[in-house]
Structure 1
C-alpha cells in the first residue's frame, strides 16, 4: 500500500498572525491621542453651541459626547493593541493592523524601496516610533506603529540590510 499525499494546504491556512506585538506603551499613547482628539471635538461642539444662536445643545448631549469619548479612549487602544503585530522573516515583512477593519499585509524583501522611522509629538513623549516600509505595491506602505524607539532604529537597520542583500529591483 502506498502513502497518499496530503491535499495541498490552502494559502489562507498558511497565514498566521505575526509574532511580535508593538510596545505596551502604545496603548497609553493611543489613549492620550484619542483623549486629545475627543477633547478638541467636544471643545468645537461647545464653541459652536455658544457662537451660533440657533444651536441649543441640551445638557444630556454634552454628557453623551463626553461618555462616547471616554468609551472610545477606554476600548479602542486596547483593541488596537490586541490586533497590531509585526514580523520580519528571511523573505518578507508581515504586518497586522486595525481595530474595526483589520488588515494583514506581507511584503517580500525584494520589493522594499525605502524604510523610514518617524516619531510624532505624542510618540516622542512615550519613547515610541513608527517604521514605514515602502514597496512598489499599489496598496501603499506598510506601517508598524507603536514600536519602542530603540527597536524601531534596529528594525530600520535590519530591513535595510536584508532588502539590500536580496536580489530584485524593488518594482
Structure 2
C-alpha cells in the first residue's frame, strides 16, 4: 500500500465556472425579494400602533433588506468565486472552500468509492453541474460545485477511472 499523499502546500489550481457568479447573483436577488416581501407584508398587516417593534421594523427593515441585497448580490458571489478552488492530481482531489471559515479537503484517489454528477434545476439554467466524491470516511462526501456541465462529466469520468485503476492495483 502506498503512503498517503502529502498535504497541499498551495492553493488548488482551478476556480469554479464563472457562470457560478450568475447563479449566486440570481440566488441573492431571489433572497432579497423574499426578505423585502416579508418586511413589506409585516408593515402592511401589522398596525402601526402595535408597539415599539413595529417602529423598529419600519426604520430598520428596509435598511436591512438593502444591506442584505448589496451583500448577497454585489459582494458574496464574487468573493465566493475568488475563494472556492479545486484540483485533481494523480494522487488526490483537493478542494478549498469558505470565504470566512476556510476549509481544505484532501481525498486520496485510493479512498474514492463513488463519483456522482448532479445538476439541480437552477444549475441546469446556468449550464452547471456539481461533482460529489464519496469515500468511506466519517467526513463523507467532498463536493466540487458549479463546474460547467461538460467539465463535471469529464472530471467524474477521470476520477472514476483513476479510482478503479488504484483498486485494481491493490488486489
TM-score by length of structure 1 reads 0.83
Runs of 4+ in 1 over 6 A off after TM superposition: none
Sort the Cα spacing of 1:49 and 1:138 in 2 relative to 1 into closer, same or farther, 3 A: farther
CA contact (8 A) 1:33 1:122 kept: no
Where in structure 1 are there 5+ consecutive unaligned residues? 1-10
Gaps of 5+ in 2: 1-5
Displacement of 1:59 after TM fit?
Answer: 4.6
1:41 offset after TM fit, Å?
2.4
Trace 1:46-61 onto structure 2 (pairs within 5 A).
Answer: 46-53=40-47, 54=50, 56=54, 57-61=57-61
Question: What is the CA distance between 1:109 and its match in structure 2?
Answer: 0.8
Partner of 2:39: 45
| Cα RMSD, aligned residues only | 1.9
Any idea what SS the aligned residue of 2:167 has?
coil
Q: What is the match of residue 29 of structure 1?
A: 23
Scaled by the length of structure 2, the TM-score of the pair is 0.83
Deviations 1:104-141 (A, max 9, x none): 10001111121111111221111011111111222221
Tell me the distance in 1 between the aligned counterparts of 2:60 and 2:108: 52
Question: Retained in 1: the 8 A contact 2:39–2:61?
Answer: no
2:17 aligned with 1:15, yes or no?
no
1:81 paired residue number = 81
* Alignment size in residue pairs: 157
SS in 2 for 1:132: strand
Match of 1:146 in 2: 146
Aligned to 1:119: 119
